Amino acid sequence: MTAAYVALEGGHVLEGRGRAPGTAHGELVFTTAYTGYEESLTDPSYEEQVLTFSYPLIGNYGVREERFEDDRVHPRAVLAKELTADVVDWLDSEGVPAIDHLDTREVVTDIRDGGAMKCGIAVGEDVTQEDALDELAACKSMSEHTDIGTQVSVDEPIVHGADNDGPDVALVDCGAKGSIVDSLLDRDATVHVLPYDVAAADVDALDPDVLFISNGPGDPANYEDAISLVQAFVEETPVAGICLGQQIVAEALGGTTTKMTFGHRGVNQPVLDLESGQVVMTTQNHGYTVDDPGDHLEITQVNVNDDTPEGLDGIQHDIITRQYHPEANPGPEDTLDFFDDVLAMAETHATTAVPADD
């Protein structure tokens, strides 16, 4: 059996079965999703993390590229109780170490009790526990990844749906899932996917109907360009955000964010809408949350389990954000109407904007 070790922050070392070789390090997190492993593994929000699947069998319906959210696997390594050969072959081809035959119940309990933690991974014929400990020593906290946006964002602007008749969306790509773009295109929008550090002048030249901040990995406080962008446009252009995007909008408008103990990662997170009293099930993947929305945003939705903010609206300006993923993929489709609300806000802005003087 190929040797495989997981060195945890604090010195504990786990041993499992090596499936795909390599060494890696990252923040150890878990997801409770029981389907959608392809979508999870290609979600850019897992950049610089080691993903543990709590569901015991991963890969039982194969691997299909049309389900991918991005063109590569983002977790630095993958842990599971059992991985099928299809998933192992895929991870191996991507150079992502994989370990199974672990008691993932114990791993998840450790994370829930102690919080997301640094870890080191070593898999191979000749690796030792020391190799995993060396990887652990090289691991940085998520807040130290100040340039993580460069790892997940487009380098140059890309336009999707140029011939569509709907609103123009300036989507700031902090690690956007492909299904967000698809959800907007399905509603006839033109989507301008922009680098995470795009200059305000370049956005202004597009004259978008809505500024949309995407999901992504890491600490929202490190996305200084996106924060400044929201501040520059919020008084004149509607603003929307998903996941990290909600946190960035809050930071931009005087709110504060904080790192969660172990985050929300799964497809069955219950969210309460405070106005309607309706509870919907949502897909989530985040380790930070809005702590205080500030004076310019109001909380409209909360997580049923821990009361963290799941939806924010602008008090004075056109702003709508969600902490969860309305596009799901994987997960329930209870919240797809978010995109209808965003584009309705954008269309209202487009039809009521005062033309510039000649």
39, 243, 264, 286: the catalytic one is: 243
- 117-124/22-31 β-pairing: antiparallel
**Of 216, 171, 178, nearest to 195 (Cα)?**
171
- 98-100/17-20 β-pairing: antiparallel
179 is in an annotated binding site: no
Exposure letters 135-153 (e unless 16+ CB within 10 A, then b): bbeebeebeebeebbebbb
Active site residue 174: no
Length of the chain: 358
40 is in an annotated binding site: no
Active site residue 325: yes
H helices of 207-302, in order, are 224-233, 244-252
95 is in an annotated binding site: no
- Can you say whether the dihedral through the CA atoms of 316, 172, 201, 163 is positive or negative? negative
323 is in an annotated binding site: no
254 is in an annotated binding site: no
Active site residue 327: yes
8 is in an annotated binding site: no
Do 262 and 54 meet the contact criterion of CB atoms below 8 Å apart?
no
What token pair was written down for 242? 């998903």
216 is in an annotated binding site: yes
278 is in an annotated binding site: no
Q: If you write DSSP's letter for every residue of 280-335 in order, what string do you get?
A: EEEEEEEEEEEEE--SSEEEEEEETTT--EEEEEESSS-EEEESSBTT-SSS--TT
Going by the annotation, the residues of the binding site are 45, 216, 218, 244, 247, 285, 287-288
**Residues identified as active-site:** 243, 325, 327
Going by the annotation, the residues of the binding site for L-glutamine are 45, 216, 218, 244, 247, 285, 287-288
